[in-house]
Amino acid sequence: MRTDTDAATVATASRGSQTVVKDTVLVRRSLGFLLQDASRLMRRRFIEEAREAGLGLNRSEASVLIHVFHSPGLSQSAIATYMDIDTISLVRLVDGLAARGLVERRARVGDRRVRELWLTDAGRASHDDIRRVTARVRAQALSGLGEAEYEALLDLLSAVRGNLAASDADAAIDLPPAS
């Protein structure tokens, strides 16, 4: 997605490299860029750490397991909503997790069309490994921040999320606790 700041960078490119560098720095200091890039880097670092730990999961698969751990019996469509992905994409993730024996699908009592997800013993064991990997990534991401700064960061991000969720019914849903 192109922003006004991106347009300014393109428009001033012909005025010299100094202006382009300045405008690029402005883009990289914007809220949207920093949130997206920090998220991208954390996902990348999770994959690296998970590979080193022999976890064999990507961040999306780990996210499914975390959601199911915190809310056993959650429907596939609810998890897709929480993860902001299409149901078919979630189904593919769950197919892979089920094939590896980490989750199982069960028909919901009273509505057999709804497929609930439950962790297997292996899935519960994987959750502990995910938590360890996530803790290492979080520690690296927050390196150099004190406890007060960390709490302030969480408060500020919660306020931003709350502001946006107030006008978005899907975002206003209560998410299972994070790991």
Q: Where are the domains of the chain?
A: 1-41, 53-165
The answer to whether residues 86 and 94 touch, using CB atoms and an 8 Å cutoff, is no
pTM of whole model > 0.85?
A: no
Q: What share of the chain is helix, strand, coil (3-state, %, to 5)?
A: 65, 10, 25
Residue position matching structure tokens 């078919």: 88
- Answer for the pair 98, 104: CB distance below 8 angstroms, yes or no: yes
Alpha carbon distance 80, 82 (integer Å): 6
CATH topology of domain 53-165: Arc Repressor Mutant, subunit A (1.10.10)
Radius of gyration of the chain (CA): 20
pLDDT tens, residue order, the chain (179 aa): 445 444 444 444 555 555 555 556 666 778 999 999 999 999 999 999 999 999 889 889 999 999 999 999 999 999 999 999 999 999 999 999 999 999 999 988 888 888 899 999 999 999 999 999 999 999 999 999 999 999 999 999 999 989 988 876 655 455 544 44
